Amino acid sequence: MKSLHRTSTAQESLNSSAVNSSAVNSSAVNRRTLLGAALGVGGTALLAACASQGQGASSSSSAASASASESATASAASSSASSTAAASSTAPSPIASATSASASASASASASSSPLALAQPSVESQPDSLRCLVNKMRPFAQQDWEPSDLVEFYGHQLRAEAAKAADTMIDAAATDGVTLLVSSAYRSYAVQQQTYQYWVSVNGQQVADQLSARPGYSEHQTGLAIDFASPEGCRLEECYRDTLAGQWLVKNAPRYGYILRFPDGRQSVTGYLFEPWHYRYVGVQIAQEYMSSGAKTFEEFIGTGAAPDYASAN
């Protein structure tokens, strides 16, 4: 793979800003304050099933702040992510799906009583599939699943195939005079868990759900998602769509297998406000099929239905 360790001066500045960002004022909820650094934590491969469709979602009444989602959360994570990973490794294997009805009922009752409750998923597809869909209704079946093929990528980590495609795309953009910076990529379950718990402790769960994906529900955990940035600014803000980088990505990203994951005006389906910086790798063939299908979201393309809120919204 070529040049995956390259880091431009602008990228170095972006990475440095992410690593050294100061503590966040807990009362602020704007993008500039809440969105920032992203941590990538690699790990050993765990073979597991991907996500499932939960039951009975309802639209969130506090959607106005939902756009400060997964990208915001990593700036709150501390260096103790590895200890959190050890704790999360006790999650039951999704492959053991032949459990009794009573055991399932017991698990559901236990989950619903916890403020960090995670929906109990059924086995549908593999998390390493390019078609794997993760959202508020479809968590990872094995909550602490980690990709087996992570590579270093512009100061972050990404799955090898996605990194190779993104590297080619970044080169193509540069040829057109456009600079694509990488703000965030893979984030582990451990980092997401620690970050989400931090926001719950500071602001309570209702606000935390607007600012951070619950652990096991973050698309960044697939190792297939990238948050891009631009030297022009508008980092992790809606105005990113007006930058040269944002405009170039909308026009060209599908040619390299990347799709805009949270499009404008589709929060009732995706569960998130417009995020013009967040792109998901699905491969060139699937990206072309998606663009030709007329679907406005990946949920509609896959045919799973809307995911405006968590299946177990306590």
Active site residues: 275
Closest residue by Cα to residue 287 from 238, 253, 249: 253
- Contact at 8 Å (CB) between 308 and 58? yes
263-270 contacts at long range (C-beta below 8 A, 24 or more positions apart): 263/296, 263/297, 266/296, 266/297, 267/63, 267/66, 267/308, 268/59, 268/306, 268/308, 269/296, 269/297, 269/299, 269/300, 269/306, 269/307, 269/308, 270/135, 270/297, 270/298, 270/299, 270/307
